[in-house]
Amino acid sequence: MDTIGYFPGCSLQGSAFDYDRSVRALAQQLSIVLREIPDWVCCGASSAHAVDREVALCLAADTLAKARRAGLDEVLVPCAMCFQRLAAASQELTEHRSLAGEIAGALGGPADLDLTRVKAVNPVEWLVRLLPGTLGTRARRPLTGLRVACYYGCLLVRPPKVTRVEEPEAPRQMEGILKALGATTVRWGRATECCGASFSLSRKSVVLRQGLRIWELAVEAGANVLCVACPMCHANLDMRQSEFLSEGQEALPVLYLTQLAGLAAGLGPEQLGLGDHFVSVDRLLSTLGPVGRPVTDT
């Protein structure tokens, strides 16, 4: 059985517990062991680097250190924010190796602790990798009927040297996964526009405005579901949807990539935390067929 490190991060322990549930269920379904990093601390999110770059770096480095001490080289990070913070920290440490050594020491070692060895992996990369393997072979319920607008937002794609995305203006990885699982994907213009997450508490108008912009083009492109891979995007687009939509505008279910992949892999809605969305997913689920033959030819 494959093992990968796991960093759920604060959101997945709070409001995004459904995301956490879906990642864990999917991993189990695909016979992958998630080893949670012992005693991890917050990645620093958007606040640390905004006001104190040393704190930002050291918080992320602490997680990398704990992962290494646990013998892990790769850590699955479902939250896009955590992913970007950890990946940015490894990038910075790789560019300044002496700094990496120094911080490793200050974090309590041991002497051979190599912080640059740990790689943060996001669910998109993870599933792209699993598609030709277990995900492909174990998918038993084609996602037919789903017309998905894949929403990447900011942190999964930018800055490209950190996120390793070749085409930050026109990413296609989620589309690749979902198409292979039987869904249709739509082309639309705001897949990488910011949802305003960092203002969800301090300046709600920003989130509502951005949410509406995203909803508009996704619906115009004919989507019946938005796919996300970030708890903040999910909160803003799902939880706040009724706030930014007006009378007569039709609600658009917002699902995590791991929830969609989980459905294709034959998991039930409850196992994937789908019962706890603000925008109802019932109608969407009814379009899905039964669990049956493999959906991909891999």
Determine if 73 is a binding residue for another protein (CB under 8 A): no
* Residue 56 vs 288, nearer CB to another protein: 56
Quick check: 212 binds another protein (CB under 8 A)? no
Identify the three-state secondary structure at position 227. strand
Q: In the block, which residue shows the tokens 């026109």?
A: 170
b/e sequence 234-261, b meaning 16+ C-beta within 10 Å: bbbbbbbbeebbeeeeeebbbbbbbbbb
Task: Tell me: does residue 44 bind another protein (CB under 8 A).
Answer: yes
Q: Which stretch binds another protein (CB under 8 A): 24-32, 168-176, 264-272, 284-292?
A: 168-176
Judged by CB under 8 A, does residue 15 bind another protein? yes
What is the spatial distance between Cα 88 and Cα 163, in angstroms, rounded to a whole number?
8
| Options 123-131, 160-168, 174-182, 263-271: segment touching another protein (CB under 8 A) | 160-168
**Near another protein by CB under 8 A: residue from 71, 111, 112, 202:** 202
Nearest residue to 274 (alpha-carbon basis) of 286, 265, 282, 266: 282
Decide: is 209 part of the binding site for another protein (CB under 8 A): yes
- Residue 295 within binding range of another protein, rule CB under 8 A: no
Are 279 and 253 within 8 A, CB to CB? yes
What is the Cα–Cα distance from 235 to 211, expressed in whole angstroms?
Answer: 10
Could you tell me the smallest distance in angstroms from the CB atom of residue 284 to another protein?
Answer: 18
Q: Are 63 and 40 in contact (CB under 8 A)?
A: yes
2 or 166: CB nearest another protein: 166
**φ, ψ of residue 152 in degrees (nearest 5):** -90, -30
Determine which residue in the list 107, 128, 212, 251 makes contact with another protein, applying CB under 8 A: 107
Q: Which of 2, 270, 276, 282 binds another protein (CB under 8 A)?
A: 276
Q: How many Å apart are CA 246 and CA 90, to the nearest integer?
A: 43
Tell me how far, at minimum, the Cβ of 212 lies from another protein, in Å. Answer: 11
DSSP per position, 57-121: HHHHHHHHHHHHHTT-SEEE--SHHHHHHHHHHHHHHHHSHHHHHHHHHHTT--TT--GGG-EEE
Which of residues 97, 129, 164, 203 is near another protein by CB under 8 A? 203
Chain residues in the site for another protein (CB under 8 A): 10-11, 13-17, 39-42, 44-55, 57-59, 61-62, 99, 102-103, 105-108, 154, 157-160, 167-170, 187-190, 192-194, 196-199, 201-204, 206, 209-210, 217, 220, 239, 276, 278
